[in-house]
Amino acid sequence: MKRTIVIILLILIVLSSQHLFAQMKQTTAGERTSVDLTIYNQNLSLIREERTINISKGLSRVVIPNIPSTIDGTSLHFSSLTDPFAVRVLEQNYQYDLVSQAKLMEKYIGKQVEFVRLNEETKKEYTVRGNLISSSFSGGLVAEIDGKIEINPAGRLILPSLPEGLILKPQLEWLVENEKAGEHKTEISYLAGSLSWNANYVALLNKDDSKLDLTGWVTLTNNSGTSFKDAGLKLVAGDVNIATTLFSVILI
């Protein structure tokens, strides 16, 4: 009997926690108010950015949008410049399941969708509804419409909405605990890949080979998945030593 009571209590605790998280307030951080990039020549960069976030008191969820898809989540550091001791990040999730046609179709397997068809006689469009059974690039679409199975149904497929779990751009979602409600000016820093640079030089000699006009060009390549508007920039050449223990440290 005691074991049964303990199990029931544990189930109640889990259900209460899930209900609490479902009711938890969620806010999205504003755009970057400033950003500084330190780009090394080994496909590595250090990014420091500031954002203003309106954080509720107590537990809440905070979404940080427009994060590079190449972020090293273990390197992230967060602090509130408004009140450094008021806000703590308890949990971090990196969401990178981006929208694609294949993923959209996969999410709607077994669910109702619409097909917009054209009446050849009246030349007017009409809509039929059915359940999507399968979808693949090789076999095409299979749907159940009006109790019948149709392979590659005629018409233009319409999906009701963007399925939960798919996002347009990579983002971070935090579970934070805050003691001071309101707007916080925050600083976020992290490492990311797919940002690189290289330098090229053009030298022009005069006829007597006594003077040299040297021009340098730096080419930046950003394949990180996001843009950095009006960013401060530092370029670092040479080897970068990264010491990895329980935390990430960069030694220049």
Q: Would you list the domain boundaries of the chain?
A: 24-98+167-251, 101-158
> How many Å apart are CA 193 and CA 45, to the nearest integer?
6
Q: Per-residue pLDDT tens for 169-180?
A: 788 899 999 999
Q: Which residues contact 6 (CB under 8 A, 6 or more apart)?
A: none
Number of H helices, E strands in the chain: 2, 18
Other C-beta atoms lying within 10 Å of the C-beta of residue 135: 19
SS3 category, 21: helix
SS3 category, 4: helix
What per-residue confidence (pLDDT) applies to 98?
66
With tokens 């370029």, the residue in question is: 235
Other C-beta atoms lying within 10 Å of the C-beta of residue 40: 21
3-state helix, strand, coil in the chain (%, to 5): 10, 55, 35
Helix (H) or strand (E) run with residue 190 in it: strand 182-192
Q: Per-residue pLDDT tens for 82-95?
A: 999 999 999 988 87
Q: Which residues contact 231 (CB under 8 A, 6 or more apart)?
A: 35, 36, 37
Other C-beta atoms lying within 10 Å of the C-beta of residue 29: 22
Pairing state of beta strands 32-40 and 232-236? parallel
Work out the average pLDDT over 154-159: 88
Q: Per-residue pLDDT tens for 14-70?
A: 444 444 444 678 888 989 999 999 999 878 899 999 999 999 999 999 999 988 989
Q: Say if residues 67 and 170 touch (Cβ distance below 8 Å).
A: yes
The CA angle 197-194-234, to the nearest 5 degrees, is: 40
Does 130 have pLDDT greater than 70?
yes
What per-residue confidence (pLDDT) applies to 94?
83
DSSP string of 28-73, one letter each residue: E---EEEEEEEEETTTEEEEEEEEEEEE-SEEEEEEE-S--TTEEE
Nearest residue to 225 via CA among 171, 161, 155: 171
